[in-house]
Amino acid sequence: MAALLPGPQAWNRVRLPKAGSRSAVIVQDPNAALDLCIAAVIKECCLVTLSLKNQILDAETDVLCAVLYSHHNRMGRHKPHLALKQVEQCLKRLKNMNLEGSIQDLSESFSSNENQPVNTKACVIPSQPVVELVLMKILGACQLLLRLLDCCCKTFLLTVKHLGLQEFIILNLVMVGLVSRLWVLYKDVLKRLVSLYEPLFGLLQEVSRIQPLPYFKGFTFPSDIAEFLGEPYFEIFKKKMPTSFAAKGVTKLLNKLFLTKEQSQRSNEETLLSISKKAKQMKINIQNNVDLGQPVKNKKILKEKSSEFDVRAFCKQLKHKAIQFAKETRVHKNINLQLPSSWLR
């Protein structure tokens, strides 16, 4: 078997070839440290497999693909849509890594220990190339998940800003909820992968001591994965909420859209106070306590006389004068018709 020469960024490869040598090693009289590593690896492999096989992840991915496909023509050049496409690319790359299959093969390599008789002290463990391959895929998947979470934060921020323009409100709300759920779900997957790395690295040390057979040459696996992932990892797990989710403008806009009961009551009280102030300025007396059994007198509101020239009132006066003049002319004509002709001479 020829060892790979991957270089310093071997974890950045999407497809890593499997080792062509033996995938298992038989260990006679395993020590207590090896037993603890095997038990921890089996437990963490089961948890990671359950997280990756979660049906909610598949459902959210389907919703993401449907949103991108249905709104490609209308929102193909919008920044929130382009950021959501980056989230889709990260998910596709994670699927092409076949991380789930590699972890499942690793967990199945320990299943042969259950079929052995109780009296035997031999133990079957995966070989060093198999363990190194899974470790390398875990490193790449963790870096990819950090990129995925960062893209979710950017999409969330751009979508909330687009909500402020009051355009595509329903679509933007769907996108905000979608990237928020993806961020929470894949944060849990990242946490499971980090917890799997530590016992698997301990198993690598034991296997390399029993039967050294390195697969990746030129690459040293880090003992602490948190230091390898760097500052983005600490920002996610040390803070309660990412900076893009906790921005002032974002929380202010979302609080307007989604108010709790207490906040809605406060807003109603504030609106009532503003209305009452305006009513006082307009000098309108509003009776709060009205008995429905008694007749309510309608108070006439006196309009203030404006100093400006009123065209409507002037036209009414002209019309009234014209009507009076027409009546007077008719009366004079009738009187002239009733007088005798001799009088008119």
Cα distances (angstroms) measured from residue 270 to each of 118, 121, 213, 256, 258: 75, 76, 73, 14, 17
DSSP class of residue 216 equals B
- Coil, helix or strand for 176? helix
User: Would the pLDDT of 303 be above 60?
Assistant: no
Work out the percent of the chain whose per-residue pLDDT is above 90: 18
Lowest mean pLDDT among 6-15, 60-69, 131-140: 6-15
**Residue 258: phi, psi to the nearest 5?**
-125, 95
154 within 8 A of 46, measured Cβ to Cβ: no
Three-class SS of residue 164? coil
The gap from C-alpha 136 to its chain's centroid, in whole angstroms, comes to 29
What is the mean pLDDT of the segment spanning 96-101?
88
| pLDDT at residue number 126 | 84
State the Cα–Cα distance between residues 167 and 175, nearest whole angstrom.
Answer: 13
As beta bridge partners, residue 216 has 4
- Name the residue with higher pLDDT: 144 or 312: 144
The average pLDDT across 20-28 equals: 70
Stretch 65-79: mean pLDDT: 82
Residue 145 burial (10 A CB sphere; 0-12, 13-18, 19+):
buried
Token pair of 289, please? 């306590």
* Residues 245-264 pLDDT 10s: 555 555 666 666 665 556 65
Rounded CA-CA distance 216/8 in Å is 10
Write down the number of H helices and E strands in the chain. Answer: 12, 2
Contact 23, 235 (CB under 8 A): no
User: What tokens appear for 34 in the block?
Assistant: 């090896």
Q: For the chain, which residues make up each domain, given as ranges?
A: 26-240
> pLDDT tens digits for 158-202?
888 887 777 777 888 888 889 999 999 999 999 999 999 999 999
